[in-house]
Amino acid sequence: MITIGRIDRIDLPEFGLENIEAKIDTGANRSSIHCSNIEHKMIDNEDCILFKIPLVSKGNDVFHSNEFFKKKIKSSSGHVENRYVIKTTIILFGKRIKTSFSLTDRTEMKYPILLGRKLLRSRYLVDVEQENLSFKLKP
């Protein structure tokens, strides 16, 4: 297993985003992305989710995904929310990983992305005293 620190920076190549800060959270089951303006729409006869990622978007960037589903997810405060969950690729330690993220308002949180146990399991060992181990390896 690869050692990962308590925070790191990841790339979201399908959205053209690089070096986005992410908190590693073994207490969270699923990963999540801070989003706003989440809309379920048809685009070119394809079912899609449209959303903004306010802390990393350039101006009015609107992202979309056609790989999604809806799921009841318990938030950190204990409230059950019906959230959209998208599937996308991240790059971490130079490896492309297809994973899922719930879309939620993380305005009050320091990091726009949270990486949970489903992504970490069987891949990473978390060392809370370390930071940006993947980012430091980038060329």
Contacts from 38-43 at CB under 8 Å and sequence distance 24+? 38/84, 38/103, 40/84
pLDDT in tens, 54-79: 766 566 788 999 999 999 988 777 88
Phi, psi of 130 (to 5 degrees): -105, 160
Note the pLDDT of residue 118: 95
Q: Which residues of the chain have pLDDT under 50?
A: none
Amino acid in the structure at residue 124: Y
Domain ranges of the chain: 2-136
CA dist 21 and 42 (Å) reads 31
Note the pLDDT of residue 83: 93
Note the pLDDT of residue 77: 74
Note the pLDDT of residue 85: 96
The candidate with the shortest Cα–Cα distance to 39, out of 25, 26, 50, 53, is 50
Note the pLDDT of residue 56: 66
pTM: 0.89
The candidate with the shortest Cα–Cα distance to 53, out of 73, 30, 37, is 37
- 35: CB partners within 8 A, 6+ apart: 51, 52, 53, 54, 103, 104, 105
Beta strand 17-24 pairing with 113-115: parallel
2-136: which CATH topology? Cathepsin D, subunit A; domain 1 (2.40.70)
Note the pLDDT of residue 59: 64
Note the pLDDT of residue 115: 97
